[in-house]
Amino acid sequence: MALRTRLTDRLGIEHPILLAPMGSASGGRLAAAVTAAGGLGLIGGGYGDADWLEREFAQAGNARVGCGFITWSLARKPHLLDQVLLRSPAAIMLSFGALRPFAQIVKTAGAPLICQVQTMAHAREAVEAGADIIVAQGAEAGGHGVSRATLTIVPEIADYLARSAPATLLLAAGGIADGRGLGAALMLGADGVLIGSRFWASEEALVPESFKAAAVAASGDDTIRTTVVDVARKIDWPQPFTARVMKTRFTMQWHGRETELAEPAVVEREMERCLDAATRGDVDNTGVFVGEAVALIRDIRPAGVILRQIVREAEELLGRKAPSFLGAR
């Protein structure tokens, strides 16, 4: 049984799995590995650094990869989109912020436009902007997001798209790290999934080994949504976004005390502490972006092995469970 969906047909890929464009973690090697395994890798453009993007696209070699941007940050460095479009990316993903004018630029360049959304209002905006693919991101997700759960936002957007934009494809994101998650997402009406945390804990991810080891040791109880790490790094995220991070000592020391943390003298000291600890891979004294899916991360393996296992599990589960699921209705 093959997991062929509208997504695999539309993007010309083998499996309905995209690598999330995780800022600084999803480099060229990881994106290329996900593509080589039959998914599609997206390089994490993050807050935008021209040299980093050049280097990571070079690392991807000839692999067909796309790129994702944090939209409100791209608005401050719009030339980065032109830089990436010159490389004929397999797709451009925009998350977190106003889609105009970037959506039109992407579409004019002929690249598939993927928009990650967190609310119904965002979903409607993405459809109006001409998104080819919408990623419905639940609050379980690692990194930035809002508060809706994957289990309800995916079918709500699936129903909305069926009514209002049937040609627009839907991906589920947030908490998907094994075949159960992929199978469930397809059952909820998604055409595929976008996976971050599970690939963040892969051999190719640009993540300190100590962070990955902390994820393996963590349970799903060990993450929290907070603004602490953004306040500490003086990154001014717009409302209503917060980030899911690990409950490190640093994060829990300041969670609930963000106003005090933002005081000039305090934030200068804590920013240095947080960034320095990140450079040294000191988990306790920094912020670590990862999702509730840590619950399902048991080992650090090559991304291709992870992807193929997710697909195998989902195929098995869907083959086994689909008849009884249908019979129960």
Q: Is 2 or 134 the residue whose CB approaches ligand FMN more closely?
A: 134
Which element (helix H / strand E) includes 104? helix 102-109
In the complex, least distance from residue 193 CB atom to ligand FMN, rounded to whole angstroms:
8
In the complex, least distance from residue 234 CB atom to ligand FMN, rounded to whole angstroms:
17
Residue 304 sits at φ, ψ, to 5 deg, of -65, -40
Q: From CA 289, how far away is CA 209, in angstroms rounded?
A: 14
Binding to ligand FMN, residues 158-197 (CB under 6 A): 173-176, 194-197
Closest residue to ligand FMN in the complex (CB): 196
In the complex, least distance from residue 197 CB atom to ligand FMN, rounded to whole angstroms:
3
Binding mask 224-243 for ligand FMN (x = CB under 6 A): --------------------
Binding to ligand FMN, residues 248-287 (CB under 6 A): none
CA angle 192-214-93, nearest 5°? 30
Binding mask 23-52 for ligand FMN (x = CB under 6 A): x-x------------------x-x------
Residue 101 sits at φ, ψ, to 5 deg, of -95, 5
Which element (helix H / strand E) includes 224? strand 223-226
In the complex, least distance from residue 15 CB atom to ligand FMN, rounded to whole angstroms:
15
CB hemisphere CA count around 14 (13 angstroms):
13
In the complex, least distance from residue 107 CB atom to ligand FMN, rounded to whole angstroms:
19
Which of 176, 173, 170, 178 minimizes the C-alpha distance to 311?
Answer: 178
Q: From CA 224, how far away is CA 205, in angstroms rounded?
A: 22
Residues interacting with ligand FMN, by CB under 6 A?
20-23, 25, 44, 46, 68, 70, 95, 116, 137, 140-143, 173-176, 194-197, 200, 289-291, 293
